[in-house]
Structure formats: structure tokens, C-alpha cells
Chains A and B, each alone.
Chain A
Amino acid sequence: MLKLLRKEFRLSASILSFLFIPFGLMFFLPGYPVLCGVFFVTLGLFQSFQNARETNDILFSALLPLAKRDVVKGKYLFVCFIEICALILMGAAAAVRMTVLADSEVYRSNALMNANFFALGLAFVIFGLFNSVFVGGFFKTAYKFAGPFLTYIISAFVTLGAGEALHCFPGLEFLNAFGTDNIGIQLALLAAGFLIYLLLTYISFKKSCRYFERIDL
């Protein structure tokens, strides 16, 4: 597993995938749709897929002493690694905003979505959509990525828009909780987001292995 990840880092990853991880800290920005940070992280990941295609990485990997499903596994490991790094930053930013900065006026007067556990749950969902729609779509051909990325962008921004809008509806104000308000439901929403991420990623990985096994390189 480590060998696969190391290969991704050394040969096929774009530097932008790493440079875009700090966009997770956009969770600190007041008056800005914080989930855009998630999209920027996936934009960095997209660059690695572009790089992989331009350098014939998939064909090269398929010739290594690996089963074909391991080539797919390498890409998913890399993607999940970057996502988890960004999620750690987002989680840290959310935790700071929910504790130390819970009463900060700049965040209290923020009209947009608050960076809380619900937002973090949605970040998991958007990353899950990236893995499912984009990475899964890429492995249908192992070279076409424009269509899957466009579909992902639409699904990501619909999710982002829904996240930003939901707390404005009567009865759903708790989604925009400050500090530890509604902490039980916040944690439940985070757990739900995490489960959706796991489910989308796992199903997409299995489907990608099947597709990749069938395609001719």
C-alpha cells in the first residue's frame, strides 16, 4: 500500500494537489462560502489526474508487477490521503471557531454558513462526490476526465448551495449552530457525512476496479 502511495507522490502527483491542501483553512473565512475550500482541494487533485494522463502514468502503472485493481487502489489512496489532510485542517479550523472563537463578533454576524460540524459533514459529502463522480468516471476510460469533472462541479456546487441555503429555512436554523449549541445533532450530521463519504468512495472504488479490469489500455 505504501509503495503505491509513494509511486503516486513521486511520479504522477501534481505539486498543486499538495499546494491546494491549505485551502482547507478557508473554514476560517467569515463572509465566504467555506465549502469552496473543499472544491479548491479537489481542483488540485484534478491536476494530478491531468498530469497522470499526460505522462502515461496509467499505462506505466499497469505494467508494474501489480494486479490491475492495485493501479486503481493507488489513485484512490492518493486522493483520500489529500482529502484527509485537508479535512484535518478543516476540522481544526471548525474546532477553533466552535470553541476559542465561538463568540467572535465577526463570525456571529456572518450571514453565510457557519464552519461547524455540519459544514465538516458536508465537506465529507463533497469529497465523496469527487471520488464517486470524478474518480469513478475517470476510470470508465482511464483517459477521459472532462465530462466526469464537469458533472462533479455541478454536483459539488448544488451540495454547496444547498448547505448554504438550508439554515435559512424555518426550523433548520440549528444547522448554523455556533459553539457547542445543538452539539448532539451537529455530531450526528458529521457522522452522517463521514458515512456518506465512506460509502460513496467504497462503491466508486469497487466500480472503478471493475471498469478498469475491462478497458483496453
Chain B
Amino acid sequence: MSIAEIRNLNKAYPSFRLQDVSFDIREGRITGFIGRNGAGKTTTIKSILNLVHPDNGEIVYFGKKLADNESEIKKLIGYSTGSVNWYPRKKIKEIVSTVRDFYDTWDEEAYRRYLSLFNLDENKAARELSEGMKVKCNLLIALSHKARILILDEPTSGLDPFSRDELTEIFIKLKEEGVAVFFSTHIISDIEKCADDIVYISGGRIVAALPKKEFETRYSLPGESLEETFLRMERGERNA
């Protein structure tokens, strides 16, 4: 079942254009959003969170338009980015004690459970956390308010292979609990490891949005790895 339906998003910047971006995010599945740097991943993610205003297009979550049901829908979304620090000098527990006021679905027991699972110390300030810990901290908040969809912008960028592996394992566990995970990356091995669906963006256009197996059948040459497929497709795009 589609949790989010993105249809025909367009956004023009002076030097970049997002064109007719359409894809679905499905319940209980991990969707890898892949594209090289500058392909439009972050613009797309910011658009589907209403942080960037698309010139046109439609964003629907749980059958409701984001534009008309913003606060209600945001209660069901968890967002994380590895590149932005929130309140670097505040302790995790200070941030959490404020954030929990905004969610009537806040589950203190789940919060304690994930705190322990992610091995986070709530007395640490945000600036004392490693990149991986920051992502986990965002996940902690999202999961404690029972987000049904996690939208993660390059959560594995800047992480060492062990932390990346740990994070992808967490994604798989969350998927098993019925959470939809949508994460952008330019690290193809992360997609290979855990994604069920692939959304591939290049030059601001969606090249493919389909299940990983179908993607491999349609685009990969015999014996070719997913990484080789993407590299070949990107080269083709450049040469076109």
C-alpha cells in the first residue's frame, strides 16, 4: 500500500530544475533514493516535507494532501539528515522533553527502548554526538512518536562501514515493524544491502522508480552489479 504518492513535482532554480518527479513510498518497505551529488535528491526530499515549495505537483500522504493537512501528516513522519545539527549545545533529553509536547502519540516506553537499542546517552549534548549518533538521535525521536514513514536524507553519508552496516540493519528491523523507510544515498552498496524499491534520479528527472528486482531485470546487464549498472547509466546520461 502506498503511504506517500508524489506526482509531477517541478521546481526550477536558476541553475537546476526538478522535472516531473513522481514516485510512491510503500508501507513496510525500504526505498532507496539514489542519484549522484546535485541530481536533486535533497530538493525532492525537502519538497515532500514542505520545506521547499515546488512550482507545481502533488504530494499526498495517507490519502491526504500535504498542503491541506500539514500538521496532521507531519505527526506521522520522521525526518533525519546527517548534515544538519539541531541545537548543538542542548542535551538530547532537553530536545526530547520539548519535542514530545508536540506529539500526542509520544510513547515513553518506546523512547526508552530505542535509547537503549541505539546506545545513546540522553545527557550528551548534540555536538558531542558522532555523525552516526546524530542520525540515530533523529531516528530515536521519530520512532518514539510512532512515525509510520521515515524520510532520511543521506543518513549513511560520512559514516564508517560499521556504522553504515548497523544503520541498514536498523532499517530492516523497522521495515519488519511496518514502517516505510525512504532514504537518499549515493552509496550504492547501502541500496544493495537493504532496499526493496529503488527511485533513481539523474539531472532532476526520475529515471526509474520500481522494485529493486525489477530494476535489475530491466536495467542490469548479465553479471553486472547494481553499482556497475548505475555507473553505466550515469555515463550514458552524460554522453546523451
Contacts and interface: CB of A to CB of B under 8 A. Distances in A.
Interface string B33-51: 0000000000000100111
A65 B51 contact: no
Interface string A57-71: 101101111111010
A203 B219 CA distance: 56
Interface in A150-169: none
A55 interface: yes
Taking residues whose C-beta sits less than 8 angstroms from the other chain, chain A's interface range is 20 to 34
Contacts of B71: 65-67, 70
Contacts of A68: 50, 70
Given A55-B88, A56-B84, A56-B86, A62 B51 contact: yes
Contact of A11 (B51, B74, B85, B94): B94
Nearest to A57: B87
Given A56-B86, A57-B87, A63 B79 contact: yes
A65 B52 contact: no
Interface in A106-143: none
A206 B229 CA distance: 51
A173 interface: no
Given A65-B72, A65-B74, A7 B51 contact: no
Given A63-B49, A66-B71, A11 B90 contact: yes
Nearest to A8: B98
A6 B87 CA distance: 15
Contacts of B86: 55-57, 60
Contacts of A60: 86-87
A144 interface: no
B103 A7 contact: no
B98 to A, nearest CB: 5
B53 interface: yes
Nearest to B86: A60
A217 interface: yes
Interface string B94-118: 1101110111000000000000000
24 contacts: A3-B101, A6-B98, A7-B101, A7-B102, A10-B94, A11-B87, A11-B90, A11-B98, A12-B87, A55-B85, A55-B86, A56-B85, A56-B87, A60-B87, A62-B51, A65-B72, A65-B74, A65-B75, A65-B103, A66-B70, A66-B74, A68-B50, A216-B46, A217-B52
Interface of B: 46, 49-53, 70-72, 74-75, 79, 84-90, 94-95, 97-99, 101-103
Interface of A: 3, 6-7, 10-12, 55-57, 59-60, 62-68, 70, 213-217
